Amino acid sequence: MEGGQPYPGKSHQQEATGVTPGSPAAAHSDEDDGYEVLTSFQANREQKETGELTGARKSPKNSPSPSSSMTTKQLQEYWRNEKRSFRAVKVLFEISSARIVENTFSKYVKYQIIIIQTGSFDSDRSIIERRYSDFERLHADLLKTFYDEMEDVPFPKKSLTGNFTEDIITERKLAFQDYLRLLYSMECIQTSRIFIDFLIRPEMEEAYSCLRGGQYPKSLEIFLQVVPLQEKLIKHRPILLVPTLCAILICHKDLDDSRSAYEFGERALLRLQNHPNHRYFMPLLEAMISLAYDLGKDFVSLQEKLEERKAKKGPRKAVTLKELVVREYVQ
> β-strands 90-102, 126-131: how paired?
unpaired
How far are the Cα atoms of 139, 181, 204, 326 from residue 221, in angstroms, in the given order?
30, 28, 11, 17
> Which value, to the nearest 10 degrees, does the dihedral of the CA atoms of residues 92, 96, 102, 106 take?
40
Q: What is the pLDDT of residues 216-234, one digit of tens each?
A: 999 999 999 999 999 999 9
Q: What is the pLDDT of residues 133-176, one digit of tens each?
A: 999 999 999 999 999 999 999 998 888 777 899 999 999 999 99
Q: Across the strands, what pairs with 102?
A: 107
Check whether 208 has a pLDDT greater than 50. Answer: yes
- Which residues 6+ apart lie within 8 Å of 168 measured at CB? 159, 162
Q: Which of 9-18, 63-72, 207-216, 301-310 has the lowest mean pLDDT?
A: 9-18
CA 108 – CA 99 distance, rounded (Å): 8
Q: What is the pTM of this model?
A: 0.76
Helices (H) and strands (E) in the chain, counts: 14, 3
Check whether 66 has a pLDDT greater than 80. Answer: no
Residue predicted with more confidence, 51 or 127: 127
Comparing CA positions, the residue from 264, 145, 131 lying closest to residue 202 is 131
- Percent of the chain at pLDDT exceeding 70: 72
Instruction: Check residue 9 and give its pLDDT.
Output: 37
DSSP 241: G
- Mean pLDDT, to the nearest integer, of 81-109? 79
Q: What is the pLDDT of residues 244-292, one digit of tens each?
A: 999 999 999 999 999 999 999 999 999 999 999 999 999 999 999 999 9
Band (pLDDT 50/70/90 cuts) for residue 320 is very high
* Backbone φ, ψ for residue 187 (5° rounding): -60, -40
Check whether 26 has a pLDDT greater than 60. Answer: no
Comparing CA positions, the residue from 220, 227, 225, 229 lying closest to residue 248 is 220
Residue predicted with more confidence, 69 or 253: 253
